[in-house]
Amino acid sequence: MKIAAAAYPLDWFDSFDDYQAKLTAWVDDAGDADLLVFPEYGAMELASLGGRAVAGDLEQSLHEVARHMPAAAALHERLARERGCHILAASGPVFQGTRPVNRAVLFGPGGVIGHQDKQIMTRFERESWHVVGAPGLRLFDTDLGRIGVLICYDSEFPLLARALADAGAELLLVPSCTDTVAGFNRVRIGAMARALENQCVVVHSPTVGLCDWSPAVDENRGRAAIYGPPDGLWPETGIVAQGAMDEPGWVFAQVDLARVRQSREGGAVLPFRDWAESDHGKVI
């Protein structure tokens, strides 16, 4: 399959039509990619539709974006159907009760495949934004392969990825939103480690660039990349493809998930198979 990972800038919109034009152009620019991955909190640009005062207020921006999420979902669903591709939409707030979750939705040519909510909140989400976790990982069995999603901070926790790998995931999608190089590197290192441990493919899609009208996503650092396990069957660096730092655009890679199975059965090392032995590392 051909994978496209977005390094995605956040823009100001005067109308939903402007957002539709941007997203359509991005999907068109991905060409014949089979899977398109957008970043965490990329949907926050929809807060601009409420005007400067709303977009500049942490709480009001959440509600404004959540208000537009159904229309954004319908747009993604149509684009996936018309282009015959799979799209992980940029995540955004969805209210389930008094506080929102951070949700990413996966679309395929046949419609909505499912959604994944972020499991573990960062300090900003917990302490300032009051976004909440929604426990429960989902495995998506698609025409492309078995896919799991770890939203940003979730990728830094090995047992989350391991649960997905044990359930059959061959491909992990990591949408992220980080405002420092250190934050980006935490997610990048986590994503690469998850590819190593589980001998699978990990796709990292970040937000990039300045967004001075939003206190939530005002600065965004990162680069898009696709990683594999450096086990003799993939690039020695583990980097299948990557873009330039903070440069908007798509990063592409051709990936055969049959190679994931080859890695797990015949790699130079077999961490996926040998994971159970890490239980021996208990302090006595």
Q: What is the pLDDT of residues 153-202, one digit of tens each?
A: 999 999 999 999 999 999 999 999 999 999 999 999 999 999 999 999 99
> pLDDT of 210-258, one tens digit each?
999 999 999 999 999 999 999 999 999 999 999 999 999 999 999 999 9
Longest C-alpha distance within the chain, in Å? 62
Residue 280 lies in a domain: no
What CATH number is given to the structural domain containing 162?
Answer: 3.60.110.10
Residue 283 lies in a domain: no
Asked whether the predicted pLDDT for residue 283 surpasses 80, the reply is no
Residue 204 lies in a domain: yes
Look at residue 97 in the predicted model and tell me its pLDDT: 87
Residue 198 lies in a domain: yes
Q: Which domain holds residue 147?
A: 2-275
Residues sharing a CB contact under 8 Å with residue 8, sequence separation 6 or more, in sequence order: 26, 38, 39, 42, 90, 205, 206, 207, 208, 248
Other CB atoms within a 10 A radius of the CB of residue 94 amount to 20
> pLDDT of 60-113, one tens digit each?
999 999 999 999 999 999 999 999 999 999 999 999 889 999 999 999 999 999
Look at residue 96 in the predicted model and tell me its pLDDT: 87
Pairing label, strands 92-95, 225-227? unpaired
Q: How many domains does the chain have?
A: 1
pLDDT-derived band of residue 265, with 50, 70 and 90 as boundaries?
very high
Residue 182 lies in a domain: yes
CA–CA separation, 263 vs 258, rounded Å?
9
Catalytic residues: 40, 118, 152
Residue 282 lies in a domain: no
Look at residue 216 in the predicted model and tell me its pLDDT: 95
Three-point CA angle 15, 33, 169, nearest 5°: 105
Report, as an integer, the average pLDDT of 9-32.
98
Structure tokens of 141? 């069995």
CA–CA separation, 44 vs 76, rounded Å?
16
Residue 55 lies in a domain: yes
Residue 10 lies in a domain: yes
Indicate the pTM of the whole model: 0.97
CA–CA separation, 123 vs 142, rounded Å?
33
